[in-house]
Chain A
Amino acid sequence: MSSLGELRTIALNARRGGARPDPKKAYPDNKAGYLFLLPWFAGLLLLGIGPMAASLYLSLTDYNVLHPPFINPPDFVWFENYIEMFQDPKFWNAFRVTVEYVLVSVPLQLAFALALALLLDRGMRGLAFYRSAFYLPSLLGGSVAVAILWRQVFAKDGIFNGFLGWFGFTDLPGWIGHPDFALWTIIVLHIWTFGSPMVIFLAGLRQIPDMYYEAAEMDGAGRLRRFFSITIPLLTPIIFFNLVLQIIFAFQTFTQAYVVSGGTGGPADSTMFYTLFLYRTGWINYDMGTASAMAWFLLIVIGVFTAFNFWFSKFWVFYDD
């Protein structure tokens, strides 16, 4: 049903092991299989596994690209990059900003997505319009144009303050330029793009068989009871799926942070997202060694979050199989 479910099945099968059938009969398409996969294998080797190994190596070197394409040969320095990185308060600031962003924006975005998906009944009037209206921002939300728009929405004389002005609030700050609020404007931008998880929730809701509801209704279960005993438990795999993916994506947020802050991560580094800091380390300061170390730390952090998610899912995700 989902890639996560798929992985789970593969893991379970692998654990089971079992007798191996005759290879000639079991694998009649060995040659064709590998031929069809040739482009993918080339990509995996040249752009996947190879670069991963190289990046791990580079993270242990002093690799300063002064003026591309002129490159100094990498200089092996063991864990110096990591040590320097961990001693840099700017690094921890970028890490904190990003984790804060992930922990606030992902649950809020998913809550909106789920709430709106629940409001949209199949066969209701205007369904196509609502669905499109909610989905459109998530299609455009990653673009530079929308980030530019966002700078104006939350500027001192922007739409947001204009809106508050109708309710008598005046003399409001420019939110984008204020260190306490700039991150929040990007969080709002993220919530605004709740359309794509919403569409996944809609698909999930549609897979819940009507007979469950009919049976529960016959047993005298009320609306609330049906919601908490049928809808939510059967939707947990989808919630889990959205949660895992959105956390991974949110950690990699770049464009919004770049454009909203004009590439600086300001004001006062309040929007210095991890990926923006990584970009500046590698491509503005030409320190590719440290940037590689940062990439690996990001991989580990995302891995830890994902692993925790999988572990924790045992306590709340319900599989109907």
Chain B
Amino acid sequence: MTTEAAPALATELITTGTAEGRRRRPRRATLKSAVKHILLIGVSLLMLYPLIWLVVSSLKPNDEIFRDLSIFTTDLTLENYISGWNDLQAPFGLYLANSMVISVGAIIGNLISCSLAAYAFARLRFRGRNLWFAVMLLGIMLPFQVVLIPQFVIFQQLGWLNTFLPLIVPKFLATDAFFIFLMVQFIRALPTEIFEAAKIDGAGHLRMFGQITLPLMIPALATTAIFTFIWTWGDFFGPLIYLREPGMFPAQVALKGFIDAQEASNFGAMFAMSVASLLPLFIVFLVGQRFLLRGFATTGIK
């Protein structure tokens, strides 16, 4: 249920990038470079200003938020966080915990099922492999709305509505084909000698998968874990249709409660909890930057 799948491909493009040439030496005049930096800093400010404003506003007293739109203020308080935490039906910590349970479940599912499938597509020669591989790639492009309603009916019939199961179990069935593709690309780039040596030593496929492939593909697994976390944490649609009981809501759906109560809205509290819901994403972004942006061309095997 992800709509922002492109980054994984970015990493994939970086890993499979072959022509990592020498650095091009910038030979521009310093003036040109200065103009460029001013432009880039300007764009950075435009990009980050709303986010910084959100954080600063969450720390301002409620009546200050719209009186002063600048991000410079001395009047900071944690009041919004305290009130926002208890403003909805349940303490916000419960919603964050729900998000965490769903995300961790999805990560475990994706890591297990996608790596198994990827090993088969990358290393095993079996009848129909190309056909199934093409089916999997087509699955990446299929809009999920087409399977949405029958899936909903299935989970409803199983009595899984209002549980986390519809959000976690599909991940154990390798439904996020993007990650299979990412891992296939990674395994294909591993040197075949390792596998040949293992085969001569009498290792079966289970051993080659568990003791050789998995340890070597940790960068690909880390990328999968990070993106699964980000997408699952940010998913709104899935929880919206499958979860009814407010006590089961993840943070994304709980935040909606602030909008529903629009008229009497406590903006400070809403902003504070928005920040609280973004914080885990931001931390994962900082920790996972290496995998998210730089790719892992150099962190593979030497």
- Contacts A32-B120, A145-B255, A258-B236 hold; do A199 and B10 have CB atoms under 8 A apart? yes
Give A42 Cβ to nearest chain B Cβ, in Å.
5
A51 CA / B114 CA spacing, docked (Å): 21
Give A284 Cβ to nearest chain B Cβ, in Å.
11
Return chain B residues, CB-CB under 8 Å to A288: 149, 153
Return chain B residues, CB-CB under 8 Å to A137: 47, 51
- Contacts A7-B137, A262-B262 hold; do A302 and B143 have CB atoms under 8 A apart? yes
A302 CA / B121 CA spacing, docked (Å): 27
Give the total number of A-B pairs whose CB atoms are below 8 A apart: 322
- The answer to whether B142 touches A129 (Cβ under 8 A) is no
Return chain A residues, CB-CB under 8 Å to B33: 124
- A68 at the B interface (CB under 8 A): yes
A158 CA / B50 CA spacing, docked (Å): 10
Query: B179-204: contact bitstring with A at CB < 8 Å (1 yes, 0 no)?
Result: 01100000000000000000000000
Interface positions of B from 199 to 222, Cβ below 8 Å from A? 205, 209
A46 CA / B289 CA spacing, docked (Å): 35
Return chain A residues, CB-CB under 8 Å to B6: 196-197, 200, 242, 245-246, 249
- B252 at the A interface (CB under 8 A): yes
Query: A182-213: contact bitstring with B at CB < 8 Å (1 yes, 0 no)?
Result: 00000000001100110110111011111101
- The answer to whether B149 touches A291 (Cβ under 8 A) is yes
- A27 at the B interface (CB under 8 A): yes
- The answer to whether A10 touches B255 (Cβ under 8 A) is no
- B86 at the A interface (CB under 8 A): no
A43 CA / B153 CA spacing, docked (Å): 16
- The answer to whether B50 touches A159 (Cβ under 8 A) is yes
Interface positions of A from 144 to 187, Cβ below 8 Å from B? 144-146, 148-153, 157-159, 162-163
Give A260 Cβ to nearest chain B Cβ, in Å.
10
Interface residues on A, range: 35 or more
- Contacts A136-B285, A157-B66 hold; do A48 and B137 have CB atoms under 8 A apart? no
Give B2 Cβ to nearest chain A Cβ, in Å.
9
Give B158 Cβ to nearest chain A Cβ, in Å.
10
- The answer to whether B143 touches A119 (Cβ under 8 A) is no
Interface positions of A from 237 to 269, Cβ below 8 Å from B? 238, 241-242, 244-246, 248-249, 251-255, 258-259, 262-263
Return chain A residues, CB-CB under 8 Å to B175: 43, 47-48
The segment out of B11-19, B77-85, B100-108 that lies at the interface is B11-19
Query: B142-160: contact bitstring with A at CB < 8 Å (1 yes, 0 no)?
Result: 1111111111011010010
- A89 at the B interface (CB under 8 A): no
Q: Which single residue of chain A is at the shortest CB-CB distance from B260?
A: A262
- The answer to whether B147 touches A47 (Cβ under 8 A) is yes
Q: Which single residue of chain B is at the shortest CB-CB distance from A254?
A: B237
- The answer to whether A44 touches B146 (Cβ under 8 A) is no
- The answer to whether A245 touches B255 (Cβ under 8 A) is no
- The answer to whether A69 touches B21 (Cβ under 8 A) is no
Interface positions of A from 123 to 147, Cβ below 8 Å from B? 123-126, 129-146
- A50 at the B interface (CB under 8 A): yes
A13 CA / B235 CA spacing, docked (Å): 38
Q: Contact check: which of B7, B130, B149 meets A55 at CB < 8 Å?
A: B149
Q: Which single residue of chain A is at the shortest CB-CB distance from B275?
A: A145
A30 CA / B125 CA spacing, docked (Å): 7
A28 CA / B112 CA spacing, docked (Å): 24
Q: Which single residue of chain B is at the shortest CB-CB distance from A53?
A: B150
A258 CA / B238 CA spacing, docked (Å): 13
- The answer to whether A2 touches B161 (Cβ under 8 A) is no
Interface positions of A from 86 to 145, Cβ below 8 Å from B? 116, 119-126, 129-145
A122 CA / B26 CA spacing, docked (Å): 9
A96 CA / B110 CA spacing, docked (Å): 36
Return chain B residues, CB-CB under 8 Å to A124: 26, 33
- B165 at the A interface (CB under 8 A): no
Query: A29-45: contact bitstring with B at CB < 8 Å (1 yes, 0 no)?
Result: 11111101111101110
- Contacts A37-B120, A143-B277, A145-B275 hold; do A200 and B145 have CB atoms under 8 A apart? no
- B92 at the A interface (CB under 8 A): no
- A283 at the B interface (CB under 8 A): yes
A192 CA / B51 CA spacing, docked (Å): 12
- A224 at the B interface (CB under 8 A): no
Q: Contact check: which of B21, B180, B293 meets A211 at CB < 8 Å?
A: B21
- A296 at the B interface (CB under 8 A): yes
- The answer to whether B259 touches A298 (Cβ under 8 A) is no
A145 CA / B242 CA spacing, docked (Å): 20
- The answer to whether B26 touches A131 (Cβ under 8 A) is no
Which A-B residue pairs are the 10 nearest by beta carbons?
Answer: A43-B173, A33-B126, A145-B274, A51-B150, A36-B120, A54-B150, A162-B69, A51-B147, A29-B124, A40-B174
A-B contact pairs, 5 of them (CB 8 A): A27-B127, A29-B205, A136-B51, A143-B234, A295-B145
17 additional A-B residue pairs with CB within 8 Å, beyond A119-B36, A251-B143, A258-B240: A29-B126, A32-B120, A36-B209, A129-B44, A142-B3, A150-B50, A158-B69, A192-B47, A203-B13, A206-B19, A210-B22, A210-B24, A252-B143, A255-B236, A262-B259, A262-B262, A279-B240
- A-contacting residues of B (Cβ < 8 Å)? 3-7, 9-10, 12-14, 16-24, 26, 33, 36-37, 39-40, 43-44, 47-51, 53-54, 57, 66, 69, 112-113, 116-117, 119-121, 124-127, 129-130, 132-151, 153-154, 156, 159, 161, 170, 172-175, 180-181, 205, 209, 230, 233-234, 236-237, 240-241, 252-253, 255-256, 258-260, 262, 267, 270-271, 274-275, 277-278, 281-282, 285, 289, 292-293, 295
